[in-house]
Amino acid sequence: MAEERFQSFGLATPPAHDVIPADDAVALLKSGKATRNALLSYGNGRSYGDSCQNEAGMVVDMRPLNRIRSFNAETGVIEAEAGVLLSDIIAHAAPYGFFPAVVPGTQFVTLGGAIANDVHGKNHHRRGSFGCHVEAFTLLRSDGRTHHCSAADNAHLFAATIGGMGLTGLILSASIRLLRVPSLDIVEKVTPFRDLGEFFELAEAADQANEYAVAWIDQLAGGHGRGRGLLFTGNHAEHGSHAALRAGGTLSVPFQPPFNVLNRPFLTAFNAAYRWKKGWSATPRQVGHQGFFFPLDGVGNWNRLYGPNGLFQHQAVVPEDVARRAVPALLAAAKRAGQGSFLTVLKRFGPIHSPALLSFPRPGFTLTLDFPNRGRATLTLLEELDHITVEVGGAVNPYKDARMGADVFAASFPEWQRLEAIRDPAFMSSFWARTAKKLEMRRGTVEAAE
């Protein structure tokens, strides 16, 4: 039975039809009887598309594995089961003056999901991706063995599992190093920019001076306003709160409206209001960490506002030297197609390498666009965005994706065969079947013909 609780965030792909509890999956794997492509871990479904789905088999509900096992308040190393949410890690460590070194735009992701996608935050320029802060983890494979993995121990499994999108086995538990911070609060500065040229002038210096930097673009603005936006920078406040209020929005969208609420007139009004509201706080001010890092977590199930067809997110990263033409080209394509993006985010990735075999962040600029699913028109636009991205040597993010073609994936991750070689045969995702397996089949056909 398809279960709503096992959807992915974009709601544009079918939810899992078969679910197995973590304990049963552990027993199955330990017995050595798991069949090919039977399993895929499901963290908290905050991936946008089908990288957390497995049409060919079952998804493993990892959320019940949610105990924090130990925390060293001197070093900030925390060990927890893979289904623990980042929100729980934050709540646990905050009173001791620690915070995850990397957090994505929602705290409702599991530890296992953050490792498996090697997620990034607003401080990639300073701290790299999540994988840079993983000390070790235990990985259960279909050979029935639990492998202890770190940079020194089973290093090949360590590298392949970080950013390995769940394909190398079940991460059972992990230890990560947290960042010592003076408080959770952030001293935030909001700098309006008139166009993308101005943003590119500001971006590098903003990264150098701040722990966190990210820009919001008013994607619907035309004429003189084209490319305008707000640059948010921030650093942890010396004096501020050490308490993470219990996670959970005060507002929630209780049911799915029958149509997309985030339509163009709404977005134009929203963008104008957002700019007006945020534009006034050009002088630094101290804000709570929830609003700074996780603004959308305040409204539960906000993805439902896109209506029954859901949304597609497109995240591209393009090399720094071509960003000044590629980013405007991506925005122009969306505008030409008449598709409004609810949140358009632009940020610079720095040069810090991840230990991962495959990882999305790489030096350059990353642009994220959200579109309501309008069927063929949206898919055509997304293909155009893919094309612009790979043509300049960039990459499209697989865990935000629900439809990219195999060639776009191969161009984005030329090393994909190294992950396929180490993939656990019992694990498969709909994403991998749609991209890497298709490439393999094509390769097999060519080899057979030769």
Ligand X SMILES: Cc1cc2nc3c(=O)[nH]c(=O)nc-3n(C[C@H](O)[C@H](O)[C@H](O)COP(=O)(O)OP(=O)(O)OC[C@H]3O[C@@H](n4cnc5c(N)ncnc54)[C@H](O)[C@@H]3O)c2cc1C
Interaction site with ligand X (CB under 6 A): 9, 40-47, 51-52, 62, 82, 104-106, 109-110, 112-114, 116-117, 119-121, 165-166, 170-171, 296, 399, 429
Is residue 2 a contact partner of residue 41, using CB atoms and an 8 Å limit?
A: no
Element (H, E) at 318: strand 311-318
Mapped onto helix, strand or coil, the DSSP state of residue 420 is helix
Residue 258: burial class (beta carbons within 10 Å; 0-12, 13-18, 19+): exposed
Nearer to ligand X, 174 or 381 (CB): 174
In angstroms, what CA-CA distances link 217 with 230, 231, 285, 362?
Answer: 7, 9, 21, 21
Q: Is 359 within 8 Å of 317 (Cβ atoms)?
A: no
What Cα–Cα distance (Å) separates residue 85 from each residue in 240, 246, 297, 389? Answer: 24, 12, 13, 32
Name 39's bridge partners. 58, 427
Beta carbon of residue 31, minimum distance to ligand X (angstroms, whole number):
19
Closest contact distance (angstroms) between CB of 425 and ligand X is 15
State which residue, 165 or 327, has the beta carbon closest to ligand X: 165
CB of 224 to ligand X, least distance (A): 30
Q: CB of 99: closest distance to ligand X in angstroms?
A: 15
The DSSP line for 395-406 is: EE-GGG-SS--H
Smallest gap from Cβ 116 to ligand X, in A, equals 3
In which element (H, E) is residue 9 found?
none
Choose between 123 and 219: whose C-beta lies nearer to ligand X: 123
CA dist 28 and 140 (Å) reads: 11
Closest distance to ligand X from the beta carbon of 399 (Å): 4
Q: Which is nearer to ligand X, 166 or 307 (CB)?
A: 166
**For residues 221 and 262, which CB has a smaller minimum distance to ligand X in the complex?**
262
What is the distance between the alpha carbons of residues 8 and 143, in angstroms, rounded to a whole number? 29
CA distances from residue 91 to 86, 179, 243, 244 in whole angstroms, order as listed: 9, 14, 7, 5
Our CB check for ligand X shows the closer of 174 and 221 to be 174
Identity of the residue, 226 or 306, whose beta carbon is nearer to ligand X in the bound complex? 306
Minimum CB separation of residue 222 from ligand X in Å reads 27
